């Protein structure tokens, strides 16, 4: 399960996104660069307004009407997703890049049962619709091993003479749905398939959303603050589930969170964002051993560690800037204890300081 460092699955370059609002233009993303490697868990960490969710929405092609991508590219399998049509992006979201959001209540259709929604995730997959061979395998297999096989092996659809019949598709989808619910450790899958989202608890809904994301056998899973609305014991369960699933699926995960501790426990690499910029990129170990960017250093001091209670908690002086008129030069400079003249005027560049460790700061 080593990270194949050289294989980049998704990459953004110079991504710059603005939002038109009544009060003015919000410069939400400023030349955001990120790279997601194969089979890794990459955490995108930042506080409110840093742009982490906007980045996710840009990748998924789900930006609202008032957003404008001013510059940049989102490269997936060599193609720029920003240049794709809505129809193409829909197909990509159906089979390649899956998303799980913070509040499943708003993202699950309240009038359809879990079963219907989950089965749909299977039924839209072209490989299943057009490939007799694949379906035979699925039908003949059983349970746990079946679903893991299914998830790991994804083939290009070879159209046969006609698509698989509706009823057969229904049976296949039903079997797969039960298996995948078991995989996400939901008890009594038969019952859950018949239930509606509001009948389940928050943790269970989140697991259903994860199951729906996995069902599509995506290459990339984007998890946007999936545990923020959950209680801490349920959060622990979900994070543990993610760790277990890493082996079952051959996907890269982009984990978006405001909590550095979650990133510490779950991620291989961490990207820290502040006010629309990427300020530091490093492997989790390197970031915690030696944080380079002043913001990262200060942020780590702000986080209380239960094992070592402190007498005084640190905070960062000032507050997050208004992105309608962001500070000139480096956006962090008004709050930075190491601010220099050049920081007030010139924007820094994201530079590789050590192997795999990048910083966006004039100090380096």
Q: Does 310 bind other proteins (CB under 8 A)?
A: yes
**Distance in Å, CB of 255 to other proteins, minimum:** 12
Q: Interface with other proteins by CB under 8 A: which range of 71-79, 145-153, 161-169, 296-304?
A: 296-304
Residue 71 or 265 with smaller CB distance to other proteins = 265
Q: Does 198 bind other proteins (CB under 8 A)?
A: no
Cβ atoms of residues 121 and 216 within 8 Å: yes
Which tokens go with 348?
Answer: 């820094």
Q: Does 296 bind other proteins (CB under 8 A)?
A: no
Q: How far, in Å, CA of 66 to CA of 58, rounded?
A: 13
Q: Does 210 bind other proteins (CB under 8 A)?
A: no
Residue 21 or 109 with smaller CB distance to other proteins = 21
Q: Does 7 bind other proteins (CB under 8 A)?
A: no
Q: Does 111 bind other proteins (CB under 8 A)?
A: no
User: For residue 92, what is the enclosing H or E element?
Assistant: helix 86-95
Would you say how long the chain is, in residues?
A: 364
Q: Does 106 bind other proteins (CB under 8 A)?
A: no
Q: Does 201 bind other proteins (CB under 8 A)?
A: yes
Q: How many residues bind other proteins (CB under 8 A)?
A: 48
Cβ atoms of residues 9 and 269 within 8 Å: no
| Backbone Cα Rg of the chain | 22
**Distance in Å, CB of 65 to other proteins, minimum:** 15
DSSP string, 165-230: PHHHHHHHHHHHHHHHHHHTT-S-HHHHHTS-GGGS-HHHHHHHHHHHHHHT--SEEEEESTTTTS
Q: How far, in Å, CA of 227 to CA of 235, rounded?
A: 5
Residue 97 or 204 with smaller CB distance to other proteins = 204
Residue 91 or 237 with smaller CB distance to other proteins = 237
User: For 305, which DSSP code?
Assistant: B
Shortest CA distance to 50 belongs to which of 286, 318, 360, 257?
Answer: 257
Among 259, 340, 353, 363, which residue interacts with other proteins (rule: CB under 8 A)? 259
Mutual orientation of helices 143-152 and 132-140 as an angle, nearest 10°? 150
**Distance in Å, CB of 223 to other proteins, minimum:** 15
**Distance in Å, CB of 95 to other proteins, minimum:** 31
Residue 124 or 320 with smaller CB distance to other proteins = 320
Residues 26-85 that bind other proteins (CB under 8 A): 47-48
Cβ atoms of residues 266 and 227 within 8 Å: no
Which residues in this chain contact other proteins in the complex, by CB under 8 A? 22-23, 47-48, 201-204, 231-237, 239-240, 258-262, 264-265, 284-285, 288, 298-300, 302-307, 309-310, 312-316, 318-320, 322, 325
């Amino acid at each position: 399960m080593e990270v194949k460092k050289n294989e980049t699955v998704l990459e953004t370059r110079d991504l710059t996104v603005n939002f038109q609002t009544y009060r003015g233009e919000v410069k939400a993303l400023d030349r955001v660069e990120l790279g997601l490697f194969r089979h890794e868990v990459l955490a995108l960490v930042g506080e409110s307004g840093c742009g982490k969710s906007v980045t996710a929405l840009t990748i998924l092609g789900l930006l609202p009407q008032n957003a404008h991508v001013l510059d940049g590219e989102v490269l997936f399998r060599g193609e720029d997703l920003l240049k794709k049509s809505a129809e193409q992006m829909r197909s990509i979201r159906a089979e390649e890049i899956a998303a799980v959001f913070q509040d499943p209540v708003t993202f699950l259709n309240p009038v359809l049962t879990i079963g219907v929604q989950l089965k749909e995730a299977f039924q839209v997959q072209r490989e299943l619709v057009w490939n007799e061979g694949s379906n035979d395998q699925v039908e003949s297999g059983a349970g746990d091993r079946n679903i893991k096989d299914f998830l790991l092996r994804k083939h290009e659809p070879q159209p046969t003479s006609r698509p698989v019949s509706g009823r057969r598709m229904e049976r296949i989808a039903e079997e797969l749905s039960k298996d995948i619910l078991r995989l996400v450790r939901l008890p009594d899958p038969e019952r859950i398939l018949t239930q509606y989202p509001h009948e389940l608890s928050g943790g269970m809904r989140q697991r259903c959303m994860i199951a729906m994301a996995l069902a599509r056998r995506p290459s990339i899973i984007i998890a946007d603050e999936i545990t923020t609305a959950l209680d801490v014991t349920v959060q622990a369960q979900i994070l543990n589930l993610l760790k277990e699933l890493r082996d079952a699926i051959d996907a890269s995960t982009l984990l978006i969170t405001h909590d550095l501790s979650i990133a510490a426990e779950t991620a291989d690499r961490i990207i820290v964002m502040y006010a629309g910029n990427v300020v530091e990129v490093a492997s989790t170990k390197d970031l915690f051993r030696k944080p380079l960017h002043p913001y990262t250093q200060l942020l780590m001091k702000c986080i209380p560690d239960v094992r070592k209670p402190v007498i005084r908690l640190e905070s960062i002086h000032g507050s997050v800037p208004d992105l309608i008129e962001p500070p000139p030069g480096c956006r962090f400079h008004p709050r930075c204890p190491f601010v220099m003249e050049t920081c007030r005027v010139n924007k820094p560049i994201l530079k590789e300081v050590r192997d795999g460790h990048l910083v966006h700061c004039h100090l380096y």
